[in-house]
Amino acid sequence: MYNSFISIVGVLQHPRELELLPAYLSNLFPVLTEHFSDFEVVLVNNGLRLPVAPHIDPLPDALKHNVYLLNLSRTTNKNNAVLAGLDRANGDYTLIFEFEFCQDPEILLKLFEKTREHYDIVYLRARRRRVGFRFQPLYKLFYYILKHYSSLQIDEMAHNTRIISRRALNSLLRLRENLRYMKAIYSIVGYRTAFLETDMPLRPDVNESFSDRFRTSLVAITSFTTFLRSLLLWIFIFSVVFLLGVIVNALKVKFTGIDLFGNMGEPFSGWTFLVILIAVFFATTCLNLYIMSIYLSNIYNEIKQRPSYIVESIQRF
């Protein structure tokens, strides 16, 4: 038996997860009691309006007494729901355990034993991603941006299931990002990290629509990368090149009657000045947008003070 206190964090936000809850807890219980000196299970009810207690009450008292249910006042992003559970985890190690692994509780031991090799964060890594063919290019583009426009070390095949040491969790909880993307947060925290491969494919959350996943990707790109600023810089560079081309073309038509493409042109009074003026203002506007994006990005990173979640009640069994 390990002389360690372990916390299990699970998020309930779909009726199917509620149906799996008895098996989820019952399968974890023997592993936890046999191998750890103490444990707790923190369940986060993320806007699920169905009663949870009837699924827990029939379970043994020794298990129920270690279960905490956090009922959030409204449905929030799953990353924020995970944060609610992490905030209330008291263990030496905290395991975020997804319901899809409830039939294989031995994964818990494998992850914990990996931490014995002096790793602070150990996660499950899928060998493949199960997603619709039309969405695959979008996932590739998203992770390309994250890898090339940030210093984050993000594993695109990582499951949410992972174990975190107390010191790593304390550091993670200091990062109070209002718009959270947990994979980026784990990367920012650092510490020694390892993974275990699993045959369970990585697939989108059934509770998330395409629009939800798109919003999450925008949060990750705008909060943790410089992609948009780089994009505006390239737009500005293109506008300067375009400006020079327009000016040269206008002057060539004015003095030779032939444009850059060898076509005959007849200069009209004021046409050259108007074209140059429009091009100058276009380039200036792009430059202003680029400068503003830098300031707005810095301000945006400083003023996020809204709570990530609100706990309506805490229930013990």
Q: Which residues of 67-96 are buried (b: 16+ CB within 10 A; e: fewer)?
A: bbbbbbeebbbbbbbbbbbbbbbebbbbbb
* Average pLDDT, 10 consecutive residues per value, the chain (317 residues): 84 83 84 85 84 81 83 80 85 87 82 85 81 71 74 77 88 74 77 81 62 67 70 75 75 68 60 70 74 69 62 69
Q: Which residues of 197-220 are buried (b: 16+ CB within 10 A; e: fewer)?
A: ebebebebeebeeeeebeebbebb
For residue 50, the model assigns a pLDDT of: 80
CA distance 81 to 281: 47
Separation of CA 38 from chain center = 31
Which residues 6+ apart lie within 8 Å of 287 measured at CB? 236, 239
For residue 305, the model assigns a pLDDT of: 62
270 sits in the region (left: phi over 0; alpha: psi -120 to 50; else beta) called: left
For residue 262, the model assigns a pLDDT of: 61
Do residues 159 and 139 make contact, with C-beta atoms less than 8 angstroms apart? no
Give CA torsion, residues 189, 193, 195, 200, to 10 deg: -10
CA distance 29 to 197: 24
Tokens 């290019």 belong to residue: 137
For residue 207, the model assigns a pLDDT of: 60
